[in-house]
Structure 1
Amino acid sequence: MESLMFAINNLRQMEIIDINSGSKLGYIKDFKVDCDDYRIISILLPTQKSSWFNKNNSVEIPWDKIKKIGVDVILVDGSDVNIENE
């Protein structure tokens, strides 16, 4: 991927699109950051489904699954995404 600089606030305002299905996954809720290497490890998106006991679940997409960052969207390969409990 190209080495461009983006502000975190700008990334959070971009919609995430899965390139496999063309579906809209939502907007970035949070980031996982490697503080030793100063790198983003993955992005976290809120799930569309609410659970029975209102647990906050997130969809985690590794940074290497991001294929393209455009002007207003981020294209990701969402073929194998992880849902994690917070």
Structure 2
Amino acid sequence: MLFSELKCKDVINMRDCKKLGRISDLEFDQCSGQICKVFIPSGNKFFNLLCTEPDICIPYKDIKQIGPDIIIVDIRC
């Protein structure tokens, strides 16, 4: 799967069924090449200028399923 395909999927938290947003960035382990974390912008950002909240950081281990349209995660908000 390409990153361009991954970032078009909605991320849903399975604990409360809320849509968290879409993946904006990834963090890789330099030694293993594996994905460590995914980042989702928080709040409504207008050109990334008006939002002071940090991005939502989700450890890769908390991703439960990647489907054709959504990514299901299990995190506490």
Q: For this structure pair, what is the TM-score category when the shorter chain's length is used for normalisation? A: 0.7 to 0.9
- Identical amino acids, percent of aligned pairs: 27
Tell me the TM-score normalized by structure 2.
0.84
Q: Give the Å deviation of 1:54.
A: 4.7
**After TM superposition, where is structure 1 displaced by more than 3 Å over at least 4 residues in a row?**
53-56
Residues 30-49 of structure 1 correspond to what in structure 2 (within 5 A)? 30-48=25-43
For normalisation by structure 1, the TM-score amounts to 0.76
Over the residues paired in the alignment, what is the CA RMSD in angstroms? Answer: 1.8
Matched residue, 2:66 = 69
Counterpart contact for 2:43–2:53, Cα < 8 Å: no
TM-superposed CA distance for 1:46, in Å, is 0.6
The count of residues paired between Structure 1 and Structure 2 equals 73
Q: Paired residue for 2:16? A: 21
* Unmatched segments (≥5 aa) in structure 1: 1-5, 81-86
